[in-house]
Amino acid sequence: LADTNPTNALSCFRILSITNSLGVAVSFLSSANRTYSLYSRTDLAAGAWSIVPGQTNIPGTGGTLTLTSPPPAVSEQFFRIAVQTP
């Protein structure tokens, strides 16, 4: 689904960096043939993942893409990226 090449061990979906300065920025290599959404939650044991406002169905660029979240209201927050076909 991530539009990687299954015959190439170097072709994989991976996060390149996560920064936490005036919010959280998650950077990764994207595909121009996919869209991406950023989700967050504060507790991995309970509750549901919530979409980060304004960070849903973002078209890939074929290069590095960065999705951002405003500064968290709590001290601990978890993130995940969803990949979809357009």
The confidence score (pLDDT) of residue 86 equals 87
The confidence score (pLDDT) of residue 41 equals 93
Three-class DSSP category at 7: coil
Whether residue 55 contacts residue 23, with contact meaning beta carbons closer than 8 Å, is answered with no
Q: Which helix (H) or strand (E) holds 67?
A: strand 64-69
The confidence score (pLDDT) of residue 37 equals 98
40-86 residue pLDDT tens: 999 999 889 999 999 999 999 999 999 999 987 777 889 999 999 98
The confidence score (pLDDT) of residue 85 equals 94
Q: Which pTM value belongs to this model?
A: 0.89
The confidence score (pLDDT) of residue 47 equals 85
